Amino acid sequence: MFVFNFKEFECPFNCFAEIIKGKWRTGIILSLSGSPKRFSELKKELAGVSSKVLADNLRALENGGLISRTVFPTVPPAVEYSLTEQGQELSGIMDSINNWAGIFLNKGEAVTYTE
Amino acid sequence: MFVFNFKEFECPFNCFAEIIKGKWRTGIILSLSGSPKRFSELKKELAGVSSKVLADNLRALENGGLISRTVFPTVPPAVEYSLTEQGQELSGIMDSINNWAGIFLNKGEAVTYTE
DNA sequence: CGGTATCCTTGATGATACTG
DNA sequence: CAGTATCATCAAGGATACCG
């Protein structure tokens, strides 16, 4: 699998777009902003994601320095994912986004589309 | 073509993800945040986009209330796209994103934008 | 438990041609 | 000028099977 290096972008916004790209990465960041989680916990929380796709995206975010992966050498193995410092800053940005979109959605109720 | 209604999302972040979805919508918003632009100007600025894809995305953003489309009944026809009030608020959010990503790209050091 | 390895589907994008 | 109509392409995502 090809993992793009986020840091190779010239344009900051293209970099951001790559980071949150696809159907699952935003959910991963949001979930980990609550607390560190194990692979199976993430898979349960992100209802519908397959192991392959979840692993692919976790690898991309880890490679980009936004999350970190800690292996506990127990039997059976336990792996914990958490946000790095940069990942936590990103989750702050996502809070702003969440606020804006929340307001946007409420304004939407005032709009009447008569069809 | 199917145009999703942004306002139908429950989750604000999914709503935002849908709004900026794909390769071109962020560029459209950023371009229009500078000044209103005509179809051909946008196409020139977003190097590589096809008429079809540009039109599809403009339609989606217009439908979502983020940009507005004004037709001047001249010959040949002139059409101007601009941000709505909600679109301008979104571009403010995108500025925050741009700042964060700029810092991220410089590995955590403060970025100074001297203009 | 936490993944990989394959194969397949699907939808966004791109190329090209055409039009009021 | 500002699109629409078709068709082709390609990578993200999903299904399933398997493994240390």
Q: Which residues of A31-43 are buried (b: 16+ CB within 10 A; e: fewer)?
A: bbbeeebebeebb
pTM of the model: 0.89
| DSSP letters for A65-85 | TSEEEEEE--SS-EEEEEE-H
Predicted confidence (pLDDT) per residue in B86-95, tens digit: 999 999 999 9
> Nearest CA to B102 among A13, A23, A93?
A13
What are the residue ranges spanned by the domains of chain A? 2-99
- Which parts of chain B fold into alpha helices (H)? 12-19, 25-34, 39-45, 51-63, 85-105
pLDDT value of residue A86: 97
CB contact under 8 A, B12 and A104: yes
pLDDT value of residue B108: 54
Distance B48 CA to C17 C1' (A): 18
Predicted confidence (pLDDT) per residue in B24-57, tens digit: 999 999 999 999 999 999 999 999 999 999 999 9
Among A6-20, A96-110, B69-83, name the one with the lowest average pLDDT. A96-110
Architecture of the B2-99 domain:
Orthogonal Bundle (1.10)
Contacts of B26 in chain A (CB under 8 A): 13-14, 17
Contacts of B86 in chain A (CB under 8 A): 104, 107
H-helix or E-strand spanning residue A16: helix A12-19
